[in-house]
Amino acid sequence: MLLSSVILVLREVLEAALLFSLLMALSRRLTISCRWVFLSLGIGLLGAAIYGFNIDIVSEQFEGVGQELINAFLQIAIYLALSVIAGLSLAHRQGRKAPPLLITVLMTLCVALAIVREGSEIMIYLSGFLAVENLRIPVLAGCAIGAAIGVSVGAVFYFLLLNLETGTARMAGAVLLLLVAAGMASQATLLLIQADWLPAQYPLWDSTWLVSEQSVTGQLLYALVGYEATPTALQVGAYVGSMLLLGAIAWCMSEIVRRRAQMPAHGGAG
């Protein structure tokens, strides 16, 4: 029980922690205060508890696929927020003042939604097994260890990103943001296929021989960039398409910021 608790919690925490670290590093680069992390943690944990405790009601909706639809919605919302963040930080890097409040709100939203998505499963797990008396200690200990490892990996990732040379960091940050966002879109697609809202398909390829999803590398790649060993054509399409869309959204956002910056400045950043 201890080991399975560690693995379960680690897998969930890792996804949220890596997104958390990426956005924290980005907000440091943009010299935006990192105080938003506390707010997003609070909102995220509260949301995870509410979602987790109502999962039975959610699951029954839409002929039993409510869970998939809500989760897909959460992933798409994170994707869209990341796209706008990408655009605003692009504008910022081009020397135009991007509204820091908007970036902060979007980052808070992203991390909070990721915590709702991943944290709700931990809440469900805890609520189910804490009630069983002889499992209480191993489950709690396992969760604590899993969470600690997940947060540590996130911290290592954060400091890695911060310690890169400015040029490399920009490139790495942009590429990672793009891949993380595409991973969200591809996971949302998979959930909609599971719910039968998108047509079922054969996998396009099987790269298990190269990186197994069950290996440590596979798990890390899944958590970070949504790696799948056997994706369907729809998922691959969503992955590539969402990257192109993110590029388009980011470009539009940076244009909007540029035009606003060219107007006589009297409103400030809003």
Partner 1 sequence: MHRCLKMLPLLSLMWSCGGLAAAPVFEIEIRDHLFFPSEFTVPADQKVKLIVYNRDSTPEEFESYELNREKVIMGGAKSVIFIGPLKPGIYPFFGEFNPKTAQGRVIAE
For residues 10 and 4, give the distance between their C-alpha atoms in angstroms, rounded to a whole number: 10
Cβ at position 187, least distance to partner 1 in Å: 10
Provide φ and ψ at 232, rounded to 5°: -90, 170
Q: Is 55 in the site for partner 1 (CB under 8 A)?
A: yes
Is the CB of residue 87 less than 8 Å from the CB of residue 250?
yes
Q: Is 142 exposed, middle or buried (0-12, 13-18, 19+ CB in 10 A)?
A: buried
Nearer to partner 1, 132 or 171 (CB): 132
Residue choice 73, 102, 129, 243 for contact with partner 1 (CB under 8 A):
129
**Nearer to partner 1 among residue 55 and residue 250 (C-beta):** 55
138 binds partner 1 (CB under 8 A): no
Residue 107, Cα to own-chain centre: how many angstroms? 11
Q: Residue for token digits 């809202």?
A: 197
Structure tokens at 81: 């927020």
User: Quick one: residue 8, left, alpha or beta (phi over 0 = left, psi -120 to 50 = alpha)?
Assistant: alpha
Site string for partner 1, 217-236 (x = CB under 8 A): -----------xxx------
Backbone angles phi, psi at 198, to 5 degrees: -120, 150
Nearer to partner 1, 141 or 245 (CB): 141
102 or 236: CB nearest partner 1 = 236
The minimum distance between CB 267 and partner 1, in angstroms, equals 44
Per CB under 8 A, does 73 bind partner 1?
no
Q: How many CA atoms lie within 13 A of 62 on its CB side?
A: 13
> Does the footprint of partner 1 cover residue 56 (CB under 8 A)?
yes
Binding site for partner 1 (CB under 8 A): 4, 7-8, 55-56, 59-60, 63-65, 67-68, 121, 124-125, 127-129, 131-132, 190, 193-196, 200-203, 212-214, 228-230
